[in-house]
């Protein structure tokens, strides 16, 4: 269950970019999960609401799309 | 990319009437950053600082019971007095059994107890090394928590990563755990002395690994009997004749 830890990294990264862009909160984020990155998308989805609670990503929609390879990349976000 | 609004979502099939919508007051920002990058940054810094001290770091990864510690013990035994130039970080959920086993073979060891955490990461290893005197050390072994899944994405500062699959586990492991194979520089099939007693076909194991990594070197050995250890020592850059058996 390393996905919870990765979720925290995801939220850290997202909040950093939110601050840089001068935004208030994150409405949605789009995450690329490669089939060889060692992460189970369903476990990320399960961990996300708990990890996001109390952060600027609370209630954000997490859109995961799967690709081939080892990428685990936050592509973009919708912010308010 | 969606050609209707340019938002990066895939296009809807032709003939779809309704398009997706965006809340009116949101804006899209591009990030394009890996969520592993903080760990990758720690790992790279660690690898660099070890390299500057002339230390190569070898990661040992595999499921519980794959034979990681036993291979390390046998390697240290073959290195003889050179074992003193080896250091090890031992990752386990509980206890210091592995650290004691490896220390008994003459290496300097620090045990990292991860508790419920299923893998080591670069940050943990970096802090563990604060408790280890690395003067005179030429090789650092990083033995990860026994797990074929979770350690894969987390670089720990290794120069090279070795994944172990034992004949007792089954030859289908590379097929079932491709992310770990993708992160490997070498696959070692361990416990080949058990081959007469188990349904394990080394060729099938190798073939499954090479579906993921066509160029992956694969060794077969038994730390218990010593068969295949020479090729392993050569891969490490050691002369198999050195030290004592």
pTM: 0.85
Flag if B182 and A70 touch (Cβ within 8 Å).
Answer: yes
Cα dist. B111→B89, B127, B160, B161 in Å? 6, 11, 20, 19
Distance from the Cα of B42 to chain A's closest Cα (Å) equals 14
Q: Does A70 touch chain B (CB under 8 A)?
A: yes
Residue B19 reports pLDDT greater than 90: no
Q: Does A6 touch chain B (CB under 8 A)?
A: yes
pLDDT band at B114 (very low <50, low <70, confident <90, very high): confident
Residue B24 reports pLDDT greater than 70: no
Distance, in Å, from the CA atom of A42 to the CA atom of B126, rounded to the nearest integer, reads: 31
pLDDT of B244? 45
B40, two tokens = 């990758």
Q: Does B119 touch chain A (CB under 8 A)?
A: yes
Flag if A9 and B35 touch (Cβ within 8 Å).
Answer: yes
Q: Which residues of A touch B23 (CB under 8 A)?
A: 27, 78, 80
Query: Could you report the per-residue pLDDT of B186-235, keeping only the tens digit for each?
Result: 999 999 999 999 999 999 999 999 999 999 999 999 999 999 999 999 99
Encode B208-240 in three state secondary structure: HHHHHCCCCCEEECCCCCCCCHHHHHHHHCCCC
Measured on CA atoms in the order B181, B177, B69, B42, is the torsion positive or negative? positive
In 3D space, the residue among B208, B214, B167, B200 whose CA is nearest the CA of residue B63 turns out to be: B167
Closest partner residue to B35 (CB to CB) among A70, A74, A80 is: A74
In 3D space, the residue among B64, B78, B205 whose CA is nearest the CA of residue B143 turns out to be: B64
Residue B245 reports pLDDT greater than 50: no
Query: Could you report the per-residue pLDDT of A14-40, keeping only the tens digit for each?
Result: 999 999 999 999 999 999 999 998 888
Query: Could you report the per-residue pLDDT of B25-78, keeping only the tens digit for each?
Result: 899 999 999 999 989 999 999 999 999 999 999 999 999 999 999 999 999 999
Distance, in Å, from the CA atom of B64 to the CA atom of B70, rounded to the nearest integer, reads: 12
Distance from the Cα of A47 to chain B's closest Cα (Å) equals 15
Closest partner residue to A72 (CB to CB) among B29, B36, B212 is: B36
């Amino acid at each position: 269950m390393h996905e919870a830890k990765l979720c925290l990294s995801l939220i850290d990264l997202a909040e950093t970019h939110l601050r840089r862009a001068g935004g208030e909160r994150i409405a949605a984020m789009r995450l690329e999960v490669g089939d060889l990155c060692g992460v189970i998308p369903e476990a990320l989805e399960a961990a996300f609401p708990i990890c996001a609670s109390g952060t600027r990503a609370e209630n954000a929609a997490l859109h995961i799309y799967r690709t081939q390879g080892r990428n685990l990349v936050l592509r973009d976000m919708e912010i308010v | 990319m969606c050609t209707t609004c340019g938002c990066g979502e895939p296009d809807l099939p032709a003939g779809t009437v309704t398009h997706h919508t965006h809340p009116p007051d949101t804006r899209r920002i591009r990030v394009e950053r890996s969520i592993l990058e903080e760990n990758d940054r720690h790992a790279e810094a660690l690898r660099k600082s070890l390299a500057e001290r002339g230390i190569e770091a070898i990661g040992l990864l595999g499921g519980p019971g794959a034979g990681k510690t036993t291979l390390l013990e046998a390697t240290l035994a073959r290195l003889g007095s050179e074992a003193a130039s080896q250091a090890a970080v031992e990752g386990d959920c509980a206890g210091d059994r592995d650290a004691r086993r490896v220390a008994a073979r003459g290496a300097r060891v620090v045990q990292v107890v991860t508790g419920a955490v299923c893998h080591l990461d670069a940050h943990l290893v970096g802090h563990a090394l604060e408790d280890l005197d690395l003067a005179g050390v030429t090789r650092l072994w990083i033995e990860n928590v026994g797990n074929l899944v979770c350690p894969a994405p987390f670089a720990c500062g290794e120069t090279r990563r070795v994944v172990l699959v034992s004949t007792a586990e089954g030859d289908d492991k590379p097929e079932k755990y491709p992310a770990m194979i993708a992160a490997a520089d070498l696959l070692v099939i361990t416990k080949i002395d058990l081959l007469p007693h188990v349904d394990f076909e080394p060729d099938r194991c190798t073939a499954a690994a090479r579906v993921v990594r066509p160029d992956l070197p694969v060794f077969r050995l038994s730390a218990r009997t010593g068969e295949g250890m020479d090729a392993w020592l050569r891969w490490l850059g050691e002369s198999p004749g050195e030290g004592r058996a």
